Structure 1
Amino acid sequence: MTDLPADIAQMSFEDALAELERIVRQLEEGKAKLDDAIRHYERGTLLKRHCELKLREAQAKIDRITVAADGTVGAEPARLD
């Protein structure tokens, strides 16, 4: 993975997303001190990047099975966007 901290790089998509959601809620409440809010924002940015990487990896693994007019079976990358 890219320059992600080891603790984030080892997280599952679901764990990273759950932590990201907690951080967003904390930031939306606006009760944190400025330094804490900045630290939370920076970690949230890293978690978001990790989630995006995990989704791209999953998309790359999913192929769409195709059947040509002559009956031959093949696969092409899925387009999920």
Structure 2
Amino acid sequence: MPQPNSGHPADHAISGKAGTAIGDLKFEAALAELEQIVQSMEGGRLPLEESLAAYRRGSELLQHCQQQLIDAERQIQILENGTLRDFESEVGEAR
């Protein structure tokens, strides 16, 4: 049974940030939103449809964070080789 809006910050985060383009989020912001989604889902505060939407958003946030970590790792590898050069992310690449 759907519960009325509890006023919990995580509830607002899921509905309020869902319109934010994930590509525009910095790693820390994406991770914080993902943590809020997980807390809301674990707490059982979301109706089924909202849980599914939150799951989709969380999956996208997870992929975004993983790609940013891969990009950071590549930058470190470039620096460790003693070569300081511009780094361009390969957006379409996934592991």
* Unmatched 5+ stretches in structure 2: 1-18, 83-95
Q: Does 1:59 align with 2:53?
A: no
Relative contact order (alpha carbons < 8 A, sep ≥ 6): 1 or 2 greater? Answer: 2
Which has the greater radius of gyration? 1
Runs of 4 or more consecutive aligned structure 1 residues displaced over 2 Å after TM superposition:
none
TM-score (norm 2): 0.61
Helix, strand or coil for the counterpart of 2:46? coil
* Letter of the structure 1 residue corresponding to residue 37 of structure 2: I
More strand per residue: 1
Rounded to whole Å, the distance in 2 between the matches of 1:42 and 1:23 is 10
* Letter of the structure 1 residue corresponding to residue 24 of structure 2: Q
1:31, distance to aligned residue in structure 2 (A): 1.9
* Unmatched 5+ stretches in structure 1: 66-74, 77-81
Helix, strand or coil for the counterpart of 2:25? coil
Helix, strand or coil for the counterpart of 1:32? coil
Rounded to whole Å, the distance in 2 between the matches of 1:28 and 1:34 is 13
Give the share of equivalent positions with the same residue, in percent.
Answer: 37
Aligned length: 63
